[in-house]
Amino acid sequence: MTSKERMLAALSHREPDRVPIDLNGTIVTALTRVAYENLRAYLGLPTDSSIEVSHFAMDTVRAKEDLLAHYGIDTRAIGMGVPFGFREQIMPDGTLYDEYRIRWRRASWYWDVVEHPLADKTLVELPGAAWPDEHDRGRYRGMRERAMQSFGTTEPCLVVDIPGLGPFEGGCFLRGHGNFCTDLYVDPSYAEAVMDKVVDSMILFWGHILDEVGELAQVVAQGDDVGMQTGTYISPEMYRRLVKPRKKRLFDFIHSRTKAKIFYHSCGSVYDLIPDFIDEGVDILNPLQRSAAKMDIARLKREFGRDICFWGAGIDVQQELPFLSPREIEDEVKRTLDVMAPGGGYVFFPSHNIQADVTPDRIDAMFRAVLAYGEP
Domain assignments of the chain as residue spans, ordered by start: 3-82+120-301+320-373
| Alpha helices, DSSP H, located in the chain | 3-11, 33-43, 65-70, 143-149, 167-175, 177-186, 188-213, 236-238, 244-257, 274-280, 297-304, 326-340, 360-373
CA pair distance 65, 158, nearest whole angstrom: 14
b/e string for 139-167 if b means 16 or more Cβ within 10 A?
A: bbbebeebbeebeeebebbbbbbbbbbbb
Give me the pLDDT at residue 152, please: 60
CA pair distance 164, 34, nearest whole angstrom: 24
Give me the pLDDT at residue 154, please: 72
CA pair distance 323, 38, nearest whole angstrom: 17
Going across the sheet that includes 219-223, the strands are 75-78, 157-160, 219-223, 261-265, 284-286, 309-311, 346-347
Kindly report the number of other CB atoms within 10 A of residue 119's CB atom: 12
The CATH architecture annotation of domain 3-82+120-301+320-373 reads Alpha-Beta Barrel (3.20)
CA pair distance 90, 94, nearest whole angstrom: 6
Distances (CA, A) of 320 to 258, 326, 346: 37, 11, 20
* Nearest to 30, CA basis, from 312, 260, 333: 312
- CA angle 332/337/338 to nearest 5° reads 95
Give, as one character, the DSSP assignment of residue 347: E
Q: For the chain, 376 residues long, give each residue's pLDDT as a single digit of tens.
A: 999 999 999 999 999 999 999 999 999 999 999 999 999 999 999 999 999 999 999 999 999 999 999 999 999 999 999 999 999 999 999 999 999 999 999 998 999 999 999 999 999 999 999 999 999 999 999 999 999 887 765 799 999 999 999 999 999 999 999 999 999 999 999 999 999 999 999 999 999 999 999 999 999 999 999 999 999 999 999 999 999 999 999 999 999 999 999 999 999 999 999 999 999 999 999 999 999 999 999 999 999 999 999 999 999 999 999 999 999 999 999 999 999 999 999 999 999 999 999 999 999 999 999 999 999 9
Helix (H, G, I), strand (E, B) or coil at 356: coil
